[in-house]
Structure 1
Amino acid sequence: MGASQSSQIFVGKRREIKKQIEIFWKYPSARSDVDAYYKNAENHQYTKPPGYKGLRWIEKKTPFTDWKDKILAHNDKVIIIRNEASPDIRQYTKGEEHKAGMSLIHVLIISKENLFNGVSLDSTNADIIPQGIDLFKTSWDNDPSFRQAVLDHQVEMIRKRDRNVDIAMGHFEKMKEKAQALRADDFTFGLHLSPDHSVPHFHIHAIATPKEFRKHSTKVHDKKTKDVLEVYHIAKNRTNAPNRHRFLNAFMPRSWRGEREKSMQQK
């Protein structure tokens, strides 16, 4: 999961990541709603907590749940799909800039399982992050048909807009050869952690990072975007089932408890 220095544009937010995770798990309905979404519980009533600042809480069905539309690549755990937005901000009117893509090349990596947003990840499921990144990197570097399908999608999204199509296409044509020459390490991977997400289902944003690829794309989301590797390293050292610790401690010899509690504090 290595990345070139030029692609690490969202790093340095570990404190914010930890805070967002801690705030999420303080909501009384967080555990039951996360579990219900994962289990696809038909009769569960999801409860958006009072005071929750996000647009969308956990939902029974999201646009990415049981994805049946076009798939660019997949493995046992994740699917790579297109981002339904033009990569060129000039195709959007004032006030709509946030709807544009974050780069000339911008795709999404979604989990096959019903995982909520990245704040729900812990040591049991955080490996969904390297599994998704590895699929993208392997596909981009080794499968020309994947790379071409991604570029074709960007053209499709540009042509779907009514505004400044020729201008946006002119820029894309100018960048097309450079796009073909990109390597996987020229991409960065970000998460919009709750409450900053727009779709509750877990997904990673994969974007081409070089400045010229982001020249006419939106940067509105940069501040809220968290680097996936920072999220991964925090999640791998977490457990989101605190009651389990109390259960284990009840059956643990007293001489062991101090060492275990010290170990947990260091994570």
Structure 2
Amino acid sequence: MANGSSLKDFSGKGAKIRERHRKFWDIQCAIADVLAYSQGKEGHEYGVDLPLAKKGSWLTPNPPFRNPKDAKLARNDQTFIIGNTSSFDIAQYPGEEKRASMSMVHLLGIPEARIFNGVSLNRANVHIIENMIELFKRNWNEFNDDEKVYPFRCAVLKHVQDTISARKDSQLANLENQDPNNKARQEAVNESWETARNRLAAMQNKIYDLGTNDFLFGLHLWDEQSVSHLHLHIIAKSPELLIFSTREHDVKTVDAEEVQRYIEGTLCSHISNTLG
């Protein structure tokens, strides 16, 4: 079913940001755990529990976003940008729509440094949020005069196309292993792939009409994150690009720049001084 609601922004969640931040730093082992992760300290026993992991493994030494399988669409000396690995279309995720991307254009900004989550940022490194946003904006606006193309936007669009096919291939491979004779399910997978392809074809040229003001920059704060390494969600907010994507993560997504302003504020001075 298509999602007809629009998305204004992720701002106005200051109370949630404060609550998540304070709850995290109230945990006795938080400082030691954050430092151990930032330093890649081997043998450290992490004590902060995470709903998605067993106690003692709230993060891993090499989470997937630090070494992504997909190509880095843009990078500088501190951060890089990749595309979300999920298809944008909920049609390819029957019964598990929340696994789809949050928009037709859903990118991820990743810091090179080992930073656990938005709640673990401090005054010394919170600038990484601005760095990721600026990296995106600069590349989004880059135009190749010789070839008359936006190279970054072309790469983003190709990634979106690839995720549709990758989702189909993954589903068919799983069926081959689990239920190879189920022709009806195979047909349903191919039909959802065709649906997603047709929907993308109808809207893909809109990518060239988008300015950087048509994007939102969000974070999923501990303990609601899915990957235990800081990543910035870069979301095209135009209603026509949201209609076939999941909206199940909107409520937990907070405005990244609002997080930065909070971390830079005086209320966080004790954490900033502790971590230097």
TM-score in terms of structure 1 length: 0.83
* Identical positions, percent: 39
Residue 197 of structure 2 is aligned to residue 169 of structure 1:
yes
The gaps in structure 2 that reach 5 residues or longer are: 1-5, 144-149, 169-188
CA gap 1:89/1:244 in 2 versus in 1, 3 angstroms: closer
Larger mean Cα displacement after TM superposition, 68-77 or 223-232: 68-77
Partner of residue 188 from structure 1, selected from 216, 241, 246: 216
Residue 255 of structure 2 is aligned to residue 217 of structure 1:
no
Residue 52 of structure 2 is aligned to residue 55 of structure 1:
yes
Q: How far is 1:240 from its partner?
A: 5.2
Partner of residue 228 from structure 1, selected from 256, 264, 274: 256
Q: Distance in 1 between matches of 2:84 and 2:233?
A: 9
Q: Distance in 1 between matches of 2:101 and 2:204?
A: 17
Q: Distance in 2 between matches of 1:244 and 1:206?
A: 30
Q: 1:202-252 CA deviation, whole Å, 9 max, x = no partner?
A: 10010110111000000000000001111110011223537859xxxxxxx
CA gap 1:70/1:243 in 2 versus in 1, 3 angstroms: closer
CA gap 1:213/1:132 in 2 versus in 1, 3 angstroms: same
Q: Distance in 1 between matches of 2:258 and 2:44?
A: 32
Q: Does the residue aligned with 2:269 lie in a helix, a strand or coil?
A: coil
Residue 271 of structure 2 is aligned to residue 241 of structure 1:
yes
Residue 139 of structure 2 is aligned to residue 139 of structure 1:
yes
Given residue 203 of structure 2, which amino acid in structure 1 is its aligned partner? M
Quote the residue 2:158 is aligned against: 152
Given residue 185 of structure 1, which amino acid in structure 2 is its aligned partner? N
The gaps in structure 1 that reach 5 residues or longer are: 1-5, 246-267
Given residue 246 of structure 2, which amino acid in structure 1 is its aligned partner? T
Quote the residue 1:254 is aligned against: none
Q: Distance in 2 between matches of 1:243 and 1:184?
A: 34
CA gap 1:59/1:184 in 2 versus in 1, 3 angstroms: same
Q: Distance in 1 between matches of 2:141 and 2:126?
A: 24
Within 5 A, what are the aligned runs for 1:70-89?
Answer: 70-89=71-90
Q: Does the residue aligned with 1:79 lie in a helix, a strand or coil?
A: strand
Counterpart contact for 1:7–1:187, Cα < 8 Å: no
Q: How far is 1:92 from its partner?
A: 0.7
Counterpart contact for 2:36–2:44, Cα < 8 Å: yes
CA gap 1:11/1:242 in 2 versus in 1, 3 angstroms: closer
Quote the residue 1:248 is aligned against: none
Q: How far is 1:85 from its partner?
A: 0.1
Quote the residue 1:16 is aligned against: 16
Q: How far is 1:7 from its partner?
A: 7.2
Q: Distance in 1 between matches of 2:166 and 2:219?
A: 26
Counterpart contact for 1:46–1:59, Cα < 8 Å: no
CA gap 1:77/1:243 in 2 versus in 1, 3 angstroms: closer
Given residue 20 of structure 1, which amino acid in structure 2 is its aligned partner? R
Q: How far is 1:131 from its partner?
A: 0.4
Larger mean Cα displacement after TM superposition, 212-221 or 153-162: 153-162
Q: Does the residue aligned with 1:223 lie in a helix, a strand or coil?
A: helix
CA gap 1:169/1:121 in 2 versus in 1, 3 angstroms: same
Q: How far is 1:58 from its partner?
A: 3.2
Q: How far is 1:171 from its partner?
A: 1.1
Q: Does the residue aligned with 2:107 lie in a helix, a strand or coil?
A: strand
Quote the residue 1:207 is aligned against: 235
Counterpart contact for 2:86–2:167, Cα < 8 Å: no
Within 5 A, what are the aligned runs for 1:17-32?
Answer: 17-32=17-32
Q: Does the residue aligned with 1:138 lie in a helix, a strand or coil?
A: helix
Compute the RMSD of aligned alpha carbons.
1.9
Q: 1:50-85 CA deviation, whole Å, 9 max, x = no partner?
A: xx5x32423322112355751110111111012110
Given residue 129 of structure 1, which amino acid in structure 2 is its aligned partner? I
Q: Does the residue aligned with 1:19 lie in a helix, a strand or coil?
A: helix
TM-score in terms of structure 2 length: 0.81
